């Protein structure tokens, strides 16, 4: 399996694309701060997994995946805040299944 077809790379990219669409909806509703935080953490997951796959050592690989895991946890946190504060107009629960 090539790095391009790695399941984590494909899924994290798809997730980032969904996050971009979701944050666009948040911005339309003037939830700018939440959109900004969610966009940063949600797209960082894929960026860090991609960087990990190009790691120069096992330590570097583990470190980058560790960062990706932290970003995923932060993204879940922002989605949980949103879910507790708003009516759900854009299928937010789809993100929590990732």
What pLDDT score does 87 carry? 57
**Residues of the chain whose pLDDT is less than 70?**
1-3, 86-98
Instruction: Tell me the pLDDT tens digit for each residue of 2-30.
Output: 667 889 999 999 999 999 999 999 999 89
What pLDDT score does 51 carry? 93
Per domain, the residue ranges of the chain are: 3-96
Could you tell me the fold of the domain covering 3-96? de novo design (two linked rop proteins) (1.20.1440)
Q: What count of residues does the chain have? A: 98
The answer to whether the CB of 19 falls within 8 A of the CB of 38 is yes
Model pTM? Answer: 0.81
């Amino acid at each position: 399996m090539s790095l391009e077809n790695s399941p984590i790379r494909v899924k994290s990219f798809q997730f980032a694309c969904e996050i971009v669409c979701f944050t666009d909806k948040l911005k339309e509703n003037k939830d700018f701060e939440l959109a900004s935080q969610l966009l940063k953490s949600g797209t960082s997951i894929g960026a860090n997994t991609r960087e990990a796959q190009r790691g120069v050592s096992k330590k570097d690989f583990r470190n980058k995946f560790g960062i990706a895991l932290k970003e995923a946890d932060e993204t879940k946190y922002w989605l949980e805040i949103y879910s507790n504060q708003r009516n759900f107009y854009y299928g937010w629960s789809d993100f929590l299944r990732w």
